[in-house]
A and B are shown apart, each in its own frame.
Chain A
C-alpha cells in the first residue's frame, strides 16, 4: 500500500477516534452506571495511540529519518505522547475521569495537525544541515514525551481544581507528597472522613476497600474486615456511635483511603514527576547537542529559555508539594499554570520566529 495514502488515512482516523473517545469519556462521567463506557474510552485511546504510532512509523520508512522535522510530525508525536501517558495515568488511578480531560486535548492537537495545517506543511521535508544528527531523535523525542507527560499532569491538576471547586480542600496540612498521616484519629466520625468516604465511592466502587469505615467490634467478628469495610459509611458511623458506649477500646483500625480528589492530585503529581526527569534529560540532550553542533551548551535562545522556564515552574511545583506553607490548592494551581507554560514553550516561542529552533514553520 502507498505510504502517503496510508498516512492521509491514518491522520484523519486518529482524529476521528480521539473525537469519539472524548465523547465516550464524557458520557462515562455523566452516566457512571454504564460500566462499558470507560472501557470503550480506553480502547479508543489505545487505538488512536496505535494509529498515530503507525503514522509516524510510515513517515520514518518514507523519509528514512526519525519523523520529527516539522510541525505536523511533532504535533502527532505530542498527541501520541499524551495518549500514551494517558493510558499510564488511567491505569495507575483506575479512574474514569482521566480521559474526560486528556482526550479533548489529544483530539484538539490531532484536529489541528490533520485538518488545519496546510497540505504543503504536512509533507515530509528533507532535513536542514543543523538537524542532521543522531541527537535529533534523542533530544526532540524526549522533549516531546516530557511535554506529553507534563500536559497530562497539568490537566489532572486542572481536573482536581474542578473537582474541588467551592470546597474546602481536604488535603490541607498534609500534602500527599509527604503526608501519610491520618487526618482524623480512629473513632472521630468527622466531616472530613465522611467527605473522603463519599469521594472514595465515586471512583472505586469495585475495590474491596474503598470506604474508610470505623468498624466496630461487631464488624471485627465478621470473617474478614475487608467485606465489612464496604458498608455504608454513614450507617456504620451510627453503629459506631451506639457501640462506643459498650466497647470503647475495641475500635477496628482500617485504611483511610484516598478520595477522588486525592487520587487525581496524586496521579497528577506522579505524571509531572515522570515528565520532569524526561524534560531534564531532553534539555541536557539539547545542551550537549548544541555544544557538539555550534560550540555552546547554553545560549539563552528563546526556545531553550522557555524550556528552562518550564523546568523551573515544575520544579517550583514539586517543591511546593513538600512545603508546609504551600498546601491545599496552591501546588495544583501552579501545576495547572504549567499547562500554559508548556504550550508557550512548545509553540508560543516559535511565533517569535527567531532563534535556533525555528524549523518547519510557516510563521
Chain B
C-alpha cells in the first residue's frame, strides 16, 4: 500500500516535487533520471556526462533563476543611474577618485567594469546568455515533466489517498452522477470509471509557462540574429536633394546584403505643420526611392509613427534641421546659402548664416532662424537686431535690398534594416499568449464512492481561494441535494448513506 501511495504521489503530480523542487527531492529525482541516461550512453564522452550530471541540475535550479532575474534587474538599474555613453571627461568630472561616490564609485571603477555602457559589456551579455540557458534547462527538467505528470492523471482508489489533500472531505451521501453533472457544468473535463471520478480544468495553465519560456528564447534568438544581420544609419538630407545611404552607425557582421547599394533617397519636400499656438503638430517628409539612373521607383510621405518600408529597409522620420536659405540681393538671381547650427549650450536649436551686402564682403547681415515657420532674425554687422524678416519680404541694409525667398529644411532620417524582426515578433506574440495562459489555475478533483461514504478531494496550483470556494459549493450541492442549488441534474436522487 505504501508503494501504491508513493506511485500516486508521483503520477498525480505531486507538483511540489516535480514543479517546484529546487529542493533536495527534485534534484535527486532529476539526477536519477540523468544517471540512467548516462548508463544508456555508456560510451558517450565524459564531457557530456559531466554537463548532464553536474551542470544541468545547477542550471535548472530555480534559485539560480531567481538570482539571475534579480541580478539582471540590478545591473539594468545601474545603467539608468550612471549616465551611459558619455565621454571620459564627463565621468572624470562627475565621478572623481577622491572623494569617490559611496566610497568606491570613481570613474576608474566605472571604466574598468564598463558601467558606462552596461548593456553591452561582456558580463551583462553573459548573464543574458546564462539566463537563456537556465530557461532551456528549466523547460526540459521541470516544465515538460510537470506537464506530463499533469496529463497522466489517475483515479484515487483508496480513502487514505484523500487524507493528504488539504481540501478533502467525506460525505455520507451524494452520488457520482450528481458530481459529474455539476462539474461538467463548471467546465471541468470529467473522467469516470465505476465508483471513481476524476475531473480537471485549466491544463493550459501548465502549458502557458512552457510557451513563455520558449517564446523568450525565440525573442533572444531573434534579437541576436537582428544584431548580426541588421544595420542602422542616419542621414540629414536637405529638402530637394538625393542622398545615398552612407552614414552607417552600426552594422552587424553579416549585414552586407541588407545595405542599399543600387538605390538612394530623394527628399522631394520636408515640412513641419505647426499648431496655431506655435507648437509642432507633425513633421513630414515626401520621399522618393530613386535607382542609379535617378528614376523614381517608389514614393511615400512619412511622418513620426508612419515610416516607409522599401526592400527590407525602413525609413523613419526622427530629426530635422534647417539646411539653407534662399535670398536675392537687389536684383541678383536667387542665391542659396547654407545654414549652420549654432552652439547655444543646450538653450534650444538655432541655425545661422551670413549674407554679404558689399561686393568686397566687408559688410553684411547675419541671418538666424529657429524653426520653419517662415521668419528669420536679421542682425547687422554691429550685432544689433535689424529686423524680423518673413519669407517673400525684404529688408534694406547698407542701401541694399535683401529679399528672403525661402527657408529650406532638412529631414533627419533613421534608416534601418532588422531581419530579426519577424522572429522577435513571433516571440512577442507567443509570449503574450503564454503569459495569459499562465494565469489559468490547473484544478483537479478526485471523487471516490465507497459503500458508506463519498470522498471528495481537490487541488489547484494557483487560485486557492477561488478553488476552495468552488469545492465548498460542490460539497454544498452534494449534501443539500440538487434541488437546493437549482441545477438541472439528470439523476437527482442522492445515494443514501449505506
Interface on A for B, CB 8 Å cutoff? Answer: 92-94, 126, 128-130, 132-133, 135, 174-183, 185-186, 207-209, 220, 224-226, 252-258, 262-263, 266-267, 269-270, 273-274, 276-277, 280-281, 284, 287-289, 291-298, 300, 302, 305-306, 308-309, 312-313, 315-316, 319-320, 322-326, 349, 352
Task: Please name the residue on chain A nearest to B314 by beta carbon.
Answer: A295
Q: Which residue in chain B gives the minimum CB-CB distance to A308?
A: B76
Instruction: Please tell me if the beta carbons of A177 and B76 are within 8 angstroms of each other in the complex.
Output: no
CB-CB nearest in chain B for A209: B472
Taking CB atoms, residues of chain B closer than 8 Å to A176 are 464
Question: B residues near A, CB below 8 A?
Answer: 14-16, 19-23, 25-26, 62-63, 65-66, 69-70, 72-73, 76-77, 79-80, 84, 119, 159, 162-172, 223, 232, 275, 279-283, 303-305, 307, 314, 316, 318, 414, 416, 418, 421, 424-425, 428, 431-432, 435-436, 438-439, 455, 458-466, 468-469, 471-472, 475-476, 479-480
Asked, given contacts A132-B305, A224-B480, whether A185 binds B163 with beta carbons under 8 Å apart, the answer is: yes
Question: Which 3 A-B residue pairings sit nearest by Cβ, starting from the closest?
Answer: A180-B459, A324-B23, A277-B435
Cα-based distance from A135 to B469 in the complex (angstroms):
39
Q: Determine how close the nearest CB of chain B comes to the CB of A128; give it in whole angstroms.
A: 7
B168→A266 contact, CB < 8 A: no
B170 CB to closest chain A CB (Å) equals 5
Q: Give Cα A269 to B240, complex, Å.
A: 59
B78 to chain A, nearest CB (A): 10
- Report the minimum CB–CB distance from A91 to chain B (whole Å): 10
Q: What are 5 pairs between A and B in contact, CB < 8 Å?
A: A175-B20, A207-B469, A255-B472, A280-B435, A300-B76
**Whole-angstrom distance between the alpha carbons of A130 and B280 in the complex?**
11
| Chain B residues whose CB sits within 8 angstroms of the CB of A258 once the complex forms | 464-465, 468
Asked, given contacts A226-B475, A293-B304, whether A324 binds B22 with beta carbons under 8 Å apart, the answer is yes
**B305-A252 in contact (CB<8A):** no
Collect the chain B residues with CB atoms within 8 Å of residue A175's CB: 20
Residue numbers in B under 8 Å from A128 (CB-CB): 279-280
On whether the beta carbons of A281 and B435 are closer than 8 Å, the reply is yes
Task: State whether B20 touches A255 (Cβ < 8 A).
Answer: no
Inter-chain CA distance A291–B424, complex, in Å, is 11
User: How many angstroms between the C-alpha atoms of A298 and B167 in the bound complex?
Assistant: 46
Residue of A nearest to B120 (CB): A300
Q: Please measure, in the bound complex, the distance between the C-alpha atom of A258 and the C-alpha atom of B464, giving whole angstroms.
A: 8
Q: Kindly list chain A residues whose C-beta atoms are within 8 Å of the C-beta of B439.
A: 273-274, 277
CA distance A36 to B19 in the complex (A): 43
Total inter-chain residue pairs, C-beta < 8 Å: 213
Given known contacts A255-B472, A302-B80, A323 and B62 CB-to-CB distance under 8 angstroms: yes
Assembly CA distance A2 to B171 (angstroms):
63
CB pair B305 A130 closer than 8 Å: yes
Chain B residues positioned under 8 Å from A254 (CB to CB): 169
Is A349 a contact of B168 with CB atoms below 8 Å?
no
Query: Quick one: which of B70, B169, B304, B414 contacts A255, CB cutoff 8 A?
Result: B169
Q: Which residues from A are CB-within-8-Å of B458?
A: 180
Asked whether A309 lies within 8 Å of B73 as measured between CB atoms, the reply is: yes
Asked whether A255 lies within 8 Å of B468 as measured between CB atoms, the reply is yes
* B69 A316 Cβ-Cβ under 8 A: yes
Q: Shortest Cβ distance from A302 into chain B, in angstroms?
A: 4
- List, in ascending order, chain A residues with CB within 8 A of B79's CB: 300, 305
Give the distance to chain B from A3, nearest Cβ to Cβ, in Å: 20
Task: Tell whether A181 pairs with B166 under 8 Å between CB atoms, given A315-B69, A324-B20.
Answer: yes
**Bound Cα distance from A178 to B209, whole angstroms:** 14
Are B303 and A129 in contact, with the CB atoms below 8 A? yes
A129 partner, pick from B20, B62, B283, B472, beta carbons under 8 A: B283
Contact status A326-B63, CB under 8 Å:
yes
Across-interface contacts of B318 in A (CB, < 8 A): 294-295
Contact B170 A253 (CB under 8 A): yes
